[in-house]
């Protein structure tokens, strides 16, 4: 997950950073109340932020497209409360394993898509046992063969989509089938009494702008033009995956604790406008599909914060907190920048101070600076915007994990 910071990256402006922090500080009493009630450390889920993000995502794309479906990519934050809130708002769930599928079924989700490479027989069986709720996204010809044998044995129908690889470079080759495999795979499915092909999927990760999605839509258009009419008629959906970066962009640390890099991302409206234009040009004239979405990061990133307490101030510029980065599961803050906010002594000035966790490893870093007045023992600190790819990657390592509180 780590990306090395390059000195050529644009520097984050102080005004931009303050704009990100002020709304959080305005809400600080809510966060401190949660600490009062539950102690520290905490994963603090802010449910109204989650539902606002989900609502906005839907409405931005629905402004262009009449037929849409939205699936939350559970792996981006696997906390069941997050999926439960989204399901209650009419969202489907996008799962990537039998474990996630079982959670989605337990939550009562009625519209689940299951994608991912190397599905085991047990995972295929679980999907096949719920044909009314699960659409399986086939990842390979071999997987299709195993699924057909299973459905034949059980005399059970299932709808499946086919994942098309859209990044044929290096290790990204492991996802989906190559375009030239689509026609033979479709023919094999057509000859099967129980498996039905009802759609196509692609997913590309980590997009600060829609260029890659647009390129994929364009080449998919070329591929579909040569497919038989009965294939196009049987396809009901095109799932265009997730990978939308939040508009605040990517934030990275530099050598200087008070200087941060900022790789801007385009607003979701731009993604929607450009993706719609490409679909209208290359795909929708061929077949009238429901467009499906699988966002993860964009939905959950801002909806969870981590709250810790300073247990030891060992030097004027070094504080140790009561939680370690096992709470996020990787050495995130060695490369990614997030502000550390002192909720006890708040302020809009950032001061250099190493904010470290309590694990027995020097890689246990929350940040190299802190917003607020001089940090003291007992202070409550918040690391905001930790909703995506942290909770799901948390590790039971040395220290207990933070408690989850949903507000």
Shortest Cβ distance from residue 81 to ligand PLP (Å)? 18
Among 114, 231, 244, 330, binds ligand PLP (CB under 6 A): 244
Q: Is 75 in the site for ligand PLP (CB under 6 A)?
A: yes
Shortest Cβ distance from residue 391 to ligand PLP (Å)? 13
Shortest Cβ distance from residue 352 to ligand PLP (Å)? 32
Part in contact with ligand PLP (CB under 6 A); list of ranges 70-78, 306-314, 340-348, 397-405: 70-78
Q: Is 241 in the site for ligand PLP (CB under 6 A)?
A: yes
- Is 251 in a helix, a strand, or coil? strand
Q: Is 96 in the site for ligand PLP (CB under 6 A)?
A: yes
Q: What is the dihedral sign for C-alpha 333, 297, 386, 317?
A: positive
Part in contact with ligand PLP (CB under 6 A); list of ranges 42-50, 237-245, 278-286, 397-405: 237-245
Closer Cβ to ligand PLP, 161 or 402, answer by number: 161
Both tokens of 295, joined, read 């966002």
Q: Is 384 in the site for ligand PLP (CB under 6 A)?
A: no
Closer Cβ to ligand PLP, 117 or 142, answer by number: 117
C-beta separation of 387 from 81 below 8 A? no
Rg, Å, the chain Cα set: 23
Compose the 245-284 pattern: x for residues touching ligand PLP by CB under 6 A, - for all others: ----------------------------------------
Q: Are strands 318-321 and 290-293 parallel, antiparallel or unpaired?
A: unpaired
SS3 content of the chain, % helix, strand, coil (to 5): 35, 25, 40
**Angle at CA of residue 248, ends 244 and 253, nearest 5°:** 105
Closer Cβ to ligand PLP, 43 or 244, answer by number: 244
Q: Is 77 in the site for ligand PLP (CB under 6 A)?
A: no
Question: CB burial class (10 A; 0-12, 13-18, 19+) of residue 188?
Answer: middle
Shortest Cβ distance from residue 50 to ligand PLP (Å)? 14
Q: Is 339 in the site for ligand PLP (CB under 6 A)?
A: no
Q: Is 94 in the site for ligand PLP (CB under 6 A)?
A: yes
Q: Is 53 in the site for ligand PLP (CB under 6 A)?
A: no
Among 20, 27, 181, 205, binds ligand PLP (CB under 6 A): 205
Both tokens of 41, joined, read 């450390």
The answer for residues whose C-beta is within 8 angstroms of residue 174's C-beta and 6 or more apart is 117
Buried b (16+ CB within 10 A) or exposed e, 110-119: ebbbbbbeeb
Residues 295-314 that bind ligand PLP (CB under 6 A): 295-298
Q: Is 243 in the site for ligand PLP (CB under 6 A)?
A: yes
Part in contact with ligand PLP (CB under 6 A); list of ranges 5-13, 241-249, 377-385, 398-406: 241-249
The answer for residues whose C-beta is within 8 angstroms of residue 39's C-beta and 6 or more apart is 403
Give the CA distances from residue 331 to residues 263, 281, 352, 356, 394, in Å, rounded to whole numbers and listed in that order: 20, 43, 20, 12, 11
Closer Cβ to ligand PLP, 204 or 344, answer by number: 204
What DSSP designation does 244 have?
B
Closer Cβ to ligand PLP, 11 or 102, answer by number: 102
Both tokens of 263, joined, read 């790789």
Question: CB burial class (10 A; 0-12, 13-18, 19+) of residue 337?
Answer: buried
First-to-last alpha carbon distance for the chain, in angstroms, is 29
Rounded Cα gap, residues 365 and 290, in angstroms: 44
Residues touching ligand PLP, count (CB under 6 A): 17
Q: Is 325 in the site for ligand PLP (CB under 6 A)?
A: no
Shortest Cβ distance from residue 287 to ligand PLP (Å)? 22
Closer Cβ to ligand PLP, 74 or 323, answer by number: 74
Q: What are the residues binding ligand PLP (CB under 6 A)?
A: 73, 75-76, 94, 96, 115, 203, 205, 241-244, 294-298
């Amino acid at each position: 997950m780590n990306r090395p910071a390059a000195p050529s990256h644009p520097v984050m402006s102080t005004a931009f950073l303050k704009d990100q922090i002020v709304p959080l500080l305005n809400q600080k009493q809510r966060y401190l109340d949660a600490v009062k009630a539950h102690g520290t450390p905490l994963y603090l889920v802010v449910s109204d932020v989650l539902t606002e993000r989900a609502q906005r995502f839907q409405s931005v794309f629905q402004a262009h497209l009449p037929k849409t479906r939205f699936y939350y990519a559970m792996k981006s934050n696997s906390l069941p409360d997050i999926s439960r809130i989204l399901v209650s708002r009419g969202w489907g769930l996008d799962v990537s394993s039998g474990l996630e599928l079982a959670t989605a079924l337990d939550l009562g989700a009625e519209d689940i898509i299951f994608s991912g490479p190397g599905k085991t027989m047990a995972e295929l069986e679980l999907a096949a046992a719920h044909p009314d709720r699960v659409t399986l996204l086939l990842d390979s010809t071999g997987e299709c063969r195993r699924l057909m044998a299973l459905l034949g044995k059980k005399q059970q129908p299932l709808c499946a989509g086919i994942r098309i690889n859209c990044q044929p470079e290096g290790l990204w080759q492991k996802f989906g089938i190559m375009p030239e495999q689509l026609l033979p795979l479709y023919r094999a499915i057509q000859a099967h009494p129980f498996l039905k092909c009802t759609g196509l999927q692609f997913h590309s990760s980590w997009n600060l702008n829609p260029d890659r999605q647009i390129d994929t839509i364009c080449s998919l258009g070329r591929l579909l033009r040569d497919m038989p009419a009965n294939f196009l008629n049987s396809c009901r959906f095109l799932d265009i995956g997730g990978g939308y970066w939040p508009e605040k962009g990517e934030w990275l640390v530099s050598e200087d604790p008070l200087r941060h890099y900022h790789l801007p991302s385009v607003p979701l409206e731009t993604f929607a406008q450009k993706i719609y234009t490409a679909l209208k040009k290359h795909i929708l004239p061929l077949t009238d599909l429901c467009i499906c979405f699988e966002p993860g990061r964009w939905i959950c990133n801002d909806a969870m914060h981590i709250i810790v307490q300073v247990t030891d101030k060992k030097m004027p510029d070094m504080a140790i907190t009561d939680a370690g980065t096992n709470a996020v599961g990787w050495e995130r803050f060695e490369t990614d920048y997030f502000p550390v906010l002192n909720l006890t002594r708040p302020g809009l000035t950032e001061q250099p101070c190493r904010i470290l966790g309590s694990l027995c490893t020097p890689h246990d870093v929350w940040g190299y600076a802190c917003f607020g007045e001089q940090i003291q023992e007992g202070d409550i600190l918040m690391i905001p915007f930790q909703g995506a790819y942290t909770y799901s990657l948390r590790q039971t390592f040395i220290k207990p994990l933070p408690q989850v509180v949903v507000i």
